[in-house]
């Protein structure tokens, strides 16, 4: 009796130990716990581009001179200054759209108008982004330009619904 009870407790203890180690391993890395990679495409993995500081955004272009880095910072700052008011308007229009669609009385005309306004503002943001990319390309060497074109972000890669 005593031997079977000890065997049972030993098996139970081993099962608990195994289950807890599997659970800890399944959690993966959190936040800054993940080992840093030196690969340019993995440096910003897991961070949304709007969560990064401007100098971290996008792939790290190799062999930039100090003058090029300063110009890139100026370009980014200029683009952010132009984009911020438009992004604020988009947020306001999206809030208005939320208000209109959750109201008791649905006004299709007003909803469609706000949707069109949001689309126009997002088109303006896309135009700003492309213009900024062209400015960056204008100061790059041929080697840097090839790297930039190959590592251009094509938009957010989403694996599910967007969360705010």
Q: What is the pLDDT of residues 79-122, one digit of tens each?
A: 999 999 999 999 999 999 999 999 999 999 999 999 999 999 99
Residue 36 lies in a domain: no
pLDDT(43) > 80: no
pLDDT(2) > 70: yes
As for how many domains the chain has, the answer is 1
- Please say whether the beta carbons of 139 and 70 come within 8 A: no
Residue 25 lies in a domain: no
Per-residue confidence at 12, pLDDT binned at 50, 70, 90? confident
Separation CA 124–CA 140 (nearest Å): 25
Residue 94 lies in a domain: yes
Question: pTM of this prediction?
Answer: 0.59
Task: State the residue range of the domain holding 136.
Answer: 88-145
- Please say whether the beta carbons of 132 and 72 come within 8 A: no
Residue 104 lies in a domain: yes
Separation CA 155–CA 31 (nearest Å): 23
Q: State residue 131's pLDDT score.
A: 96
The sign of the dihedral angle between the CA atoms of 115, 118, 120, 123 is: negative
Residue 58 lies in a domain: no
pLDDT(45) > 60: no
Task: Tell me how long the chain is.
Answer: 164
Q: State residue 134's pLDDT score.
A: 96
């Amino acid at each position: 009796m005593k031997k079977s009870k000890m065997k049972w407790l030993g098996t139970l203890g081993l099962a608990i130990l195994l289950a807890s180690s599997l659970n800890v391993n399944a959690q993966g890395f959190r936040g800054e716990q993940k080992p840093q990679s030196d690969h340019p495409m993995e440096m910003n993995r897991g961070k949304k581009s709007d969560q990064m500081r401007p100098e971290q955004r996008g792939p790290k272009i190799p062999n930039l001179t100090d003058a090029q880095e300063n110009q890139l910072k100026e370009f980014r700052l200029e683009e952010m200054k132009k984009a911020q008011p438009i992004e604020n308007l988009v947020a306001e229009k999206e809030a208005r759209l939320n208000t209109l669609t959750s109201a008791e009385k649905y006004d299709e005309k007003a909803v469609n108008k706000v949707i069109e306004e949001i689309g126009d503002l997002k088109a303006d943001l896309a135009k700003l982004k492309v213009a900024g990319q062209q400015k960056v390309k204008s100061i790059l060497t041929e080697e840097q330009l090839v790297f930039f074109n190959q590592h251009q972000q094509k938009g957010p890669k989403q694996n599910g619904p967007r969360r705010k």
